[in-house]
Chain A
Amino acid sequence: MSALRILVPVKRVIDYAVKPRVNKAQTGVETAGVKHSMNPFDELSVEESVRIREKKSAPGGVEDICVISAGPPKAADVLRTAMAMGADRGIHVDVKEGEDLEPLSVAKLLKAVVDKEKSNLVILGKQSIDDDAAQTGQMLAGLLGWPQATQASKVTFGAGDTVEVTKEVDGGAETVRAKLPMVITTDLRLNEPRYASLPNIMKAKKKPLVKMSLSDLGIANERRLKIVKVTEPPPREGGGKVEDVDGLISKLKELGAI
C-alpha cells in the first residue's frame, strides 16, 4: 500500500459572509479592504487530509500533506492557516493581484506540481465561492488521466490502494471506487473543519513555505475568457408584509402564484 502524498490546493477568496460589491468601472468586484479568507470548500479539503492522517484511515499512512495556493502575496496567509490546521508545508505560487488564473491554467499548474511532488492524492474544494466555476478538480483529473470523485461526502480507504468515495449527486448520493492516484473534490457534508489553535498557529509559522513563480513551473497565465463587464444583479424589491394567513393567501392569489 502506497503512503499518501496529498496535495491540497487552497484559494484565498472574499470571505463568505461578506456581500460583494461590483466596482465602479464594472470590471469586477471590489476587493480592496474587504475581508478575505480560505475558500470554505478548501478548509474541508485540508481538514479531510489531516483527519486521514490522524485517524490512520489509509493503510499506507500519510507521508506528506502539502498545501498550495496561486495568488498575490496575501495568499500566503491562507497557506499558514492550512498549516496551522495540520498541513506539513506550503507552496505559494506568486501571481500578481488582479491577474488571477483561470481554472484551466490552475489545473495545468497543479499538474506540474503533482508531477514534481509525486502526489498520489489531490483533494480540492468542489468550487470556489468567488468565480463559482466548479472546474479545477475535474480539469486536473482529465489532464493527469486520473480517476475523479467530485462532491465527496465520505472518503474511505481499502486494501490495494483503493479509495471509496460517496458523492453528492442530484437526488441523493452515489458511491464510486477507484485506485490511487486520484482526484477528489469536497462537498459541505464531508466534515466540520477545525479552528486552528493558537499554539498551532505559532508552530505553523515555522513550517516550510516555498515561493515559486509560474515560470518556475513552466506555466503561462494564458487567459481565454475576457471579462466584458461585471454588473450588479437587478435588485429585488420586497413586497411588504401581510397580517395573517388569509392575507398571505389572498396576496399569493393576486400575484398569480396559487
Chain B
Amino acid sequence: MLFSTASRTVLRGVGSVPRSTSTLSSPFNINSPSALRRLLSSLAVLEQRDGKLNHGSLSAITAAKKLGGSIHGFVAGSNIKPVAEEAAKVEGVEKIIAVDNAAYDKGLPENFAPLLVENIKKGGYTHIIAGHTAFGKSLLPRVAALLDSQQISDITAIENENTFVRPIYAGNAIATVESSDPIKVITIRGTAFPAAEAQGGSATIEDGVDPNVEISVEWVSEDLAKSDRPDLATAGRVVSGGRGLKSKEDFDKIMLPLADSLGAAVGASRAAVDSGYADNSLQVGQTGKVVAPQLYLAVGISGAIQHLAGMKDSKVIAAINKDAEAPIFQVADVGLVGDLFDKVPELTEKLKSS
C-alpha cells in the first residue's frame, strides 16, 4: 500500500516535470540544429593521380554527408576536367571546385596548402575533410596551421558538427572531442567511412581560385610497389605475414599464393617489414596502414598492440601461429596453432580446389 502510493507520487512528479520544461524550453529551441545545418558547408578534398580520380578519397564525401549541409569537392592537377567530371557524378555533391594546373599534380603541400586555403576562404566552408592518407596527412595539418585551426586527425565517427570520435594510444582508447574552431579541419579513417559511389549525382564544375604560390620543393622521383593484387587499404580480404615467415623468399613463396587463392591483398607486420621480407608500404599497424576487411588472416604474427591497432576492426580475424600463447589468439575469431610452413600451403591448396 505504501509502495503504491509512493510510486504514484513519483509518477505524478515525473509527469509534471516534463510538461513544464517543455513549455519553458520551446521558445529557446527554435530548431537550432537545422538552423546551423543551413550554414554548414563542407569541402571534401579529393585525390587524383595521373588524371585518375582516387575513388578511396570519396570517403571524404561520405563523411561530409553525415555532417549534413552543402557539400563541395575539390580537385587540382593538370587536365583536371575528366577527374572533376567523374567526381561530379557522386550523389549529394553540389559543386566540384577544380583547379587545372600541373603544379599541383604531385599534391605537394608547399603549394597545395595555400591553394586550398584560398579556396576555403572564398567558399566560406565550415568543414574541410580529407582522408588520413599519405596525401591528407602531409597536406591538412599545413592547411590547418595556415587557417589557425586545430586539426582533428583520423576520425572514425561524427557525433555532430562540432564533435568527433577518434582513436588514440594505438586504438587502446577512444576519444570524443569537441572543436571550438570556426573552420574544422578533419582527416578521416577510410575504413570507418566507405567511399561514396560516383553515380547518381550531377554537380556543377567550377574553376577554383589559383594563387599559384611559388613552390619551395622539387619532386624528384617515386618508387611505387607494383601489384596486381587488391589495394591493401580497401581490400575485402587481407592476408598478413610476420616474423614467422623467416625470409623474403619464404614470405613470397608462402603468402603470395595464399593471397591469390583468396583474392586478398598482402599485408605485413612491422617485424616482417623491418627484416626486409615485405615492402614498407605493406605494413599494417599504428604507424602503417589501418585496415578493416571482411577477413584478416594473420600468419606468423604474434599480435603486438601496435599491430592490433591496424587491424582489430576487421570483421573476421583468423590467425595461424605456432605459439598457442600468442596474443593474436585473444582477438582472433578463429585460430589454428601450427607451423605455418605446413599449414599455409595446405590451406592454399584446399582453398584453390574448393
Give the B-binding residues of A (Cβ under 8 A). 14, 16, 19-20, 22, 28-29, 41, 102-104, 107, 126-127, 129-143, 145-151, 153, 164, 167-179, 187-189, 223-233, 236, 238-242, 244-249, 251-252, 255-258
The main secondary structure of chain A at its interface with chain B is mixed
Residues A241 and B173 in contact in the complex (CB < 8 Å), given A142-B142, A174-B219, A257-B316? no
Contact pick for B168, options A143, A164, A170, A230, CB 8 Å: A230
How many residue pairs link A and B with beta carbons under 8 A? The number is 262
Q: 10 additional contacts, CB 8 Å, given A139-B151, A179-B216, A258-B237?
A: A19-B305, A29-B168, A132-B286, A135-B141, A142-B109, A189-B273, A228-B163, A242-B335, A252-B318, A257-B318
Which residues of A sit under 8 angstroms from B318, Cβ to Cβ?
Answer: 248, 251-252, 257
Quick check: A129 and B137 within 8 Å, CB to CB? no
Within 8 A of A (CB), among B209-234: 216-225, 233
Quick check: B334 and A170 within 8 Å, CB to CB? no
Complex CA–CA separation, A150 to B110 (angstroms): 12
Residues A244 and B219 in contact in the complex (CB < 8 Å), given A29-B173, A233-B173, A257-B318? no
Q: Which of the listed residues B135, B173, B222, B305 has the most CB atoms from chain A within 10 Å of its own CB?
A: B173
The main secondary structure of chain B at its interface with chain A is mixed
Which residues of A sit under 8 angstroms from B237, Cβ to Cβ?
Answer: 257-258
Quick check: B177 and A227 within 8 Å, CB to CB? yes
Q: Is B50 an interface residue (CB 8 A)?
A: no
Quick check: B150 and A224 within 8 Å, CB to CB? yes
Which residues of B sit under 8 angstroms from A188, Cβ to Cβ?
Answer: 270, 274, 287
Q: Is B36 an interface residue (CB 8 A)?
A: no
Which residues of B sit under 8 angstroms from A127, Cβ to Cβ?
Answer: 287
Chain B minimum-CB-distance residue to A185: B138
Complex CA–CA separation, A179 to B217 (angstroms): 7
Complex CA–CA separation, A95 to B144 (angstroms): 23
Q: How far is the CB of A87 from chain B (nearest CB, A)?
A: 23
Quick check: A238 and B150 within 8 Å, CB to CB? no
Q: Is B175 an interface residue (CB 8 A)?
A: yes
Contact pick for A224, options B137, B179, B289, B333, CB 8 Å: B179
Quick check: B295 and A132 within 8 Å, CB to CB? no
Q: Which of the listed residues A19, A187, A189, A257 has the most CB atoms from chain B within 10 Å of its own CB?
A: A257
Quick check: A104 and B134 within 8 Å, CB to CB? no
Quick check: B216 and A147 within 8 Å, CB to CB? yes
Quick check: B281 and A249 within 8 Å, CB to CB? no
Which residues of B sit under 8 angstroms from A178, Cβ to Cβ?
Answer: 216-218
Quick check: B347 and A148 within 8 Å, CB to CB? no
Residues A107 and B134 in contact in the complex (CB < 8 Å), given A132-B154, A239-B334, A247-B336? no
Chain B minimum-CB-distance residue to A138: B141
Q: Mark B261-282, 1 if CB is under 8 A from A, else 0.
A: 0100000001001100001110
Q: How far is the CB of A168 from chain B (nearest CB, A)?
A: 5
Quick check: B354 and A249 within 8 Å, CB to CB? yes
Complex CA–CA separation, A247 to B154 (angstroms): 37
Q: How far is the CB of A53 from chain B (nearest CB, A)?
A: 24
Q: Mark B306-348, 1 if CB is under 8 A from A, else 0.
A: 1000001001111010001000011111111110000100110
Complex CA–CA separation, A171 to B222 (angstroms): 10
Residues A249 and B350 in contact in the complex (CB < 8 Å), given A138-B109, A143-B145, A238-B333? yes
